[in-house]
Structure 1
């Protein structure tokens, strides 16, 4: 399947560009290395740089198997317009790292930490990040780009993750995001049901916003998606326009996509109206919400419970968007369903 990303847009990686791998035995590291190598070579990584990618992924997988509980890795290609990056994300559910600062030292190794030290992976990657709480688990990500794509090293101020329901290869959820004149446009669609037909609906939603002329109001984009989803089984859709300079979030939702603003010591929900894009939509409501300085906007499908608490994850919402999305997918993605989350940051978290 061809990537759905158009000029300037980032969207869900298609099947073949992203893979979740269970890492609970040391032998799994070889499989991670093969898959990372195949994706990196597709992007043109070679020589020493390819070796660095392989080393970082192998070490991360080996230590995940040795020290973590319920360890998994996501390896994927992320396309941002014409640029592309290779990312891997390590996720586990314990035991966590008590001394996160110490884990950045080469050779530091205790239960739950990376034996080569996070510092080594940080130096090999163009960007990386770690969030860990004792007893809760650890999330680590690393991002790699080719030398001629150096402008993409930091990544955009948003990140999304999708994961299909067990037993399906295609996820019925999809996202798309784009920065235009300082405003982040973010769309998340949960195609009705599961499998290829749900995925087709969600991917059509991505195409609809990708083809739109910006700037545009979220309600206009939502109505555009609704029209495009007519020939599909439809889905729940939400669109947000995050404008840090104005301190506002404009939001329009149809169906049960959850929208949240986290900041200023609180979490505020945004309102979606009942309906199914493509079939049942009586009206398209758009609301404007205040965006606190450094605030984070989170959209997620109903594959995640909305009972997560930002206060239980200290420091997380000042970190990069991929860390935020990964931790929420791990902790709140407990329902037997397709799962997706899209996080937009405004503070340039490190």
Structure 2
């Protein structure tokens, strides 16, 4: 939801409250979430440029509620200072940030002066459960309410497997293909990436089809298989390396499927995204971003490289634990 009008504050608060109640959160915790969400979204409305708020069940941990806020400015020159109680500077998102961080079960923030801020807060009713070292975000084209892009995350021991599907076209028909891809992926996510992709290729024949890719990340390596124009990358420091997706349309046209194995070091981040993001993003222009949590990286990349002229999806995976 765009957070550029005061009405957005109440709308996002209601969504968060409904999610908390549906998840069985107690009244006290639900009230705390309402306070934190109100403060965070109010800051967007009052001080940010092109503010957006997302509230949802946390990917990979549906019992946890996640709030993501992002904007295009003005950014915070000193995040640590902004987290101190009582700090307030006109034109920044510092108001109340320390208080809402304490209410959350987990938070992370990335901010660059003049470019904007991404804030992720997660709320559990009790101890925060173990979270997968992966997250993603989607956004529909223009003013559409449904995205034709989708992703899914599965964990098994040290391995995290993710799938991205970009349904052909956009809107509800494209979303039908991507939702079917998610169901097919989750039916047996421990299969080899090529086996998963082959299952999608067979199963999407009655839909428009689309582009799809599967990546399995373990300590030290990523195994990747893609069909169509899903982009796969390995980011490290200020550099990145591309992974190979074969040409075709999942569900309709494609050559023999193959998977490729790439080495990962401890600081590497795996990025998958649809063509709703430009390939021209550069880690060097976003200093420190890839040290942040996967949810913050995904939302920030969507802001920096996403296009409003197409559905967009980006998923981030790390070989270590989420931060």
- What TM-score do the two structures reach when normalised by structure 1? 0.88
User: Using the alignment, how far apart are the partners of 1:79 and 1:165 within structure 2?
Assistant: 21
Deviations 1:135-192 (A, max 9, x none): 1000111111122xx352x521000111111232221111111111211111100000
Deviations 1:80-103 (A, max 9, x none): 37x521111111100110011101
Select which of 135, 146, 149 maps to 2:114: 135
Check conservation: 2:230, 2:273, Cα contact below 8 A. Answer: yes
Note the 1:147-158 alignment, pairs <5 A: 147=126, 150-152=127-129, 155-158=131-134
Check conservation: 1:189, 1:236, Cα contact below 8 A. Answer: yes
RMSD between aligned residues: 1.5
User: Using the alignment, how far apart are the partners of 1:22 and 1:201 within structure 2?
Assistant: 26
Give the match for residue 230 of structure 1.
205
Deviations 1:175-219 (A, max 9, x none): 1111112111111000001111111111111111111162x2211
User: Using the alignment, how far apart are the partners of 2:183 and 2:7 within structure 1?
Assistant: 40
User: Using the alignment, how far apart are the partners of 1:240 and 1:103 within structure 2?
Assistant: 37
Deviation at 1:348, TM superposition (A): 3.5
Select which of 41, 46, 51 maps to 2:31: 51
Give the match for residue 183 of structure 2.
207
Check conservation: 1:175, 1:188, Cα contact below 8 A. Answer: yes
Indicate yes or no: 2:59 matched with 1:86. no
Give the match for residue 85 of structure 2.
106
Give the match for residue 68 of structure 1.
48
Check conservation: 2:239, 2:282, Cα contact below 8 A. Answer: no
Determine helix, strand or coil for the equivalent of 1:328: helix
Determine helix, strand or coil for the equivalent of 1:97: coil
Check conservation: 1:263, 1:293, Cα contact below 8 A. Answer: no
Select which of 20, 23, 32 maps to 1:40: 20
Q: Is the alpha carbon distance of 1:55 and 1:308 closer, same or farther for their aligned partners in structure 2, counting shifts above 3 Å?
A: same
Deviations 1:238-289 (A, max 9, x none): 0111111xx1111111000000001154200001110001000121021111
User: Using the alignment, how far apart are the partners of 1:232 and 1:276 within structure 2?
Assistant: 11
Indicate yes or no: 2:169 matched with 1:196. no
Structure 1 residue runs without a partner (length 5+): 1-20
Task: Give the stretch that moved more between structures: 261-270 or 183-192.
Answer: 261-270
User: Using the alignment, how far apart are the partners of 1:79 and 1:85 within structure 2?
Assistant: 9
Give the match for residue 285 of structure 1.
258
Deviation at 1:231, TM superposition (A): 1.0
Give the match for residue 145 of structure 1.
124
Select which of 273, 286, 292 maps to 1:300: 273
Check conservation: 1:96, 1:132, Cα contact below 8 A. Answer: yes
User: Using the alignment, how far apart are the partners of 2:297 and 2:124 within structure 1?
Assistant: 21
Q: Is the alpha carbon distance of 1:304 and 1:169 closer, same or farther for their aligned partners in structure 2, counting shifts above 3 Å?
A: same
Check conservation: 1:305, 1:335, Cα contact below 8 A. Answer: no
Q: Is the alpha carbon distance of 1:217 and 1:348 closer, same or farther for their aligned partners in structure 2, counting shifts above 3 Å?
A: same
Give the match for residue 180 of structure 1.
156
Give the match for residue 233 of structure 2.
260
Q: Is the alpha carbon distance of 1:335 and 1:32 closer, same or farther for their aligned partners in structure 2, counting shifts above 3 Å?
A: closer
Deviation at 1:37, TM superposition (A): 1.5
Note the 1:113-128 alignment, pairs <5 A: 113-116=93-96, 118-128=97-107
Determine helix, strand or coil for the equivalent of 1:22: coil
